[in-house]
Structure 1
């Protein structure tokens, strides 16, 4: 990994130039729900060009070259729509990968299916709660009954011995629900609450984000409650939560459940990679700028050497406020949101309220801007 400029004392020691901390495989775009924020713009039916079972196993074999215990998240759409899901989990487990899952809260997510996934070696399951009541959650998910299905699945995961993660989207329509959702996360016995700040891609383009100042307030609140809740807290597509922690003169606990080994945070392309249902290799599912295709390219080589990934790992190539920011090596801003807003993945994150002392008001433009 090549990094330009004088190293910052805040630069975290990581090996994210060699392997992603998190690799997500979108196994399908098929889903029964019609969620307002859906990145995948999911459809009821499966795409005819989805990676097959054999291609999926070949992908997992390739991913194993990153690390024996590489973390793999199977996502969608709704991964429960793939009849080979248990087979894929078992295969990944058998070759030494850490297999986790983010299913949708539908009738397909039964106690029996969760038991089968647990028996196949699944290490964690994450479900989404975007409201603390059935009315709020179901309206956001576009399906009556989704709230109750999600709660049933969460409890079934706990009974099956699976660590439970809860994901929540933060936008103007959900932000007031956060304190009540936090109580529900605790009641369900979750080990981690992942708080996702909306990126306007897919159907999420029609939703209203929270303002930068409201974002700051939410992050301060998350930082304040973290010591009093029985679960870990992380933010997704909002790495400036680390700055909030540093400004409070403490290291933030934004990416690990209690008791886990602390590590540096990650952003799109830097500790994070995404494979689409048809095999495209992206820095993130929220940054749909392809750097390769697993059917023709080596995913390890793409992650380590593709120009886009190398650029995203070089925080000194950021432009605008993010490029001038003293926290860029521990934060880096959401590259996905920058891309969604400007077409340039190295531009400033428009959701950040922080104004760096070195900021001169010049936005600038990188050499990897979109078409």
Structure 2
């Protein structure tokens, strides 16, 4: 294709995505879909949501079932499809699945584990198949802290090697950091490493205590608030985007500090090339999770099964299942979240509420904010 035609096609694709984003209604389509294509993983990370296993489950969705699933996901438009796990590189058909999804118009992202599998050659294959972003976990600036967290000696150095390799190939990279009481004081030291590997985004994940993550201590509500304020100030410095994952109250923090004050968007502006929405994504509201066995849930951190793609229509589940519809209805929220003036902007992290209280509509126990209309 001639260079001018390539540029025109790229511009056309950007315009199409922008129209899709402008028209996206989270009651009709998610922005992000995470597909746990396998639960197999060589690591035993102490925070693991999935209780990952060392061997693949023979009941995983097959390649053909994966293709059929991808075909249905295109009904949503062009959401981001995250190939995750476990370790997605433990599936031999990974690149075929990515290529199929990319050809179908889905925007593919990959979250490999820092093992020997993500070689330069495999990273290049992922790139050629259509991966637009890879994300790796780096939980501390010190190898000994990160390696203890991941329970694999040398995993810190391997993570840095993979990130540098991706940078050399021109693959957009994202650094994920899980915040717990073990590393909260080390977060400022992480900035240098995010910059060094040229990450376009730092996704700071606030622990949801489930799976092996139940063994860890969440930071306190006040610590959550302090970290979120610090992240907001960091985001204003530029250099890379900052995303607070499993912490929708970050949008409230930003709105309170004058980041535009929008009732929906809180003034966010992302520059990572994924056309992120102004409205807040939350479990079941802009987000959809599909397990390695085909179970459909609002997210991997809200493990309430609403159906299975082998017998149910994933599009119908997202749009019409009572659980998903309830999660998109602010009137269903209870406690502080139910009376909070920021509930449309934030809504609280539904997975954390469920993990701690057993009620997905309860208040987020990590939030320190006291709404004006709240009386305990």
Q: Tell me the TM-score normalised to structure 2 length.
A: 0.90
Per the alignment, in what secondary structure is the counterpart of residue 88 of structure 1?
helix
Per the alignment, in what secondary structure is the counterpart of residue 40 of structure 2?
coil
- Native 8 Å contact 1:172 1:209 kept in 2: yes
- Native 8 Å contact 2:259 2:267 kept in 1: no
- Native 8 Å contact 2:259 2:268 kept in 1: no
Aligned to 2:16: none
1:215-234 residue CA offsets vs partner (Å, 9 max, x unmatched):
10000000111121410001
Distance 1:261 1:130, change over 3 A: closer
What is the CA–CA distance in structure 1 between the aligned matches of 2:186 and 2:269, rounded to whole Å? 22
The yes-or-no answer on 1:320 pairing with 2:328 is no
Aligned to 1:124: 133
Distance 1:349 1:13, change over 3 A: farther
- Native 8 Å contact 1:232 1:254 kept in 2: no
What is the CA–CA distance in structure 2 between the aligned matches of 1:93 and 1:156, rounded to whole Å? 22
Structure 1 residue corresponding to 2:354, chosen from 331, 336, 339: 339
Structure 1 residue corresponding to 2:181, chosen from 164, 172, 177: 172
Structure 2 residue corresponding to 1:44, chosen from 49, 54, 64: 54
Per the alignment, in what secondary structure is the counterpart of residue 123 of structure 1?
strand
Distance 1:238 1:273, change over 3 A: same
Structure number with the higher helix fraction is 2
1:193-222 residue CA offsets vs partner (Å, 9 max, x unmatched):
111000001000000110000110000000
Number of aligned pairs?
A: 349
Distance 1:255 1:150, change over 3 A: farther
- Native 8 Å contact 1:321 1:348 kept in 2: yes
Aligned to 1:305: 320
Shift of 1:121: 1.0
Shift of 1:14: 5.6
- Native 8 Å contact 1:233 1:254 kept in 2: no
Per the alignment, in what secondary structure is the counterpart of residue 230 of structure 1?
coil
Q: Tell me the TM-score normalised to structure 1 length.
A: 0.91
1:84-122 residue CA offsets vs partner (Å, 9 max, x unmatched):
101111111111111111111111111110001001111
Off by >6 Å, runs of 4+ in structure 1: none
What is the CA–CA distance in structure 2 between the aligned matches of 1:254 and 1:189, rounded to whole Å? 21
Aligned to 1:54: 64
Equivalences for 1:94-105 in 2 at 5 Å?
94-105=103-114
Shift of 1:253: 6.4
Shift of 1:174: 1.4
RMSD (CA atoms): 1.5
Per the alignment, in what secondary structure is the counterpart of residue 205 of structure 2?
strand
Aligned to 2:29: 19
- Native 8 Å contact 2:295 2:306 kept in 1: yes
Equivalences for 1:259-270 in 2 at 5 Å?
263-270=278-285
Per the alignment, in what secondary structure is the counterpart of residue 346 of structure 2?
coil
* Residue ranges of structure 2 left out of the alignment (5+ in a row): 1-21, 261-265
Deviates more, 1:13-22 or 1:327-336: 13-22
What is the CA–CA distance in structure 2 between the aligned matches of 1:135 and 1:253, rounded to whole Å? 38
Aligned to 1:368: none
1:336-360 residue CA offsets vs partner (Å, 9 max, x unmatched):
0000011110000000000011112
Aligned to 1:366: none
Per the alignment, in what secondary structure is the counterpart of residue 50 of structure 1?
coil
Shift of 1:304: 0.2
Distance 1:59 1:160, change over 3 A: same
What is the CA–CA distance in structure 2 between the aligned matches of 1:173 and 1:227, rounded to whole Å? 26
- Native 8 Å contact 1:274 1:282 kept in 2: yes
- Native 8 Å contact 1:281 1:294 kept in 2: yes
What is the CA–CA distance in structure 2 between the aligned matches of 1:286 and 1:329, rounded to whole Å? 21
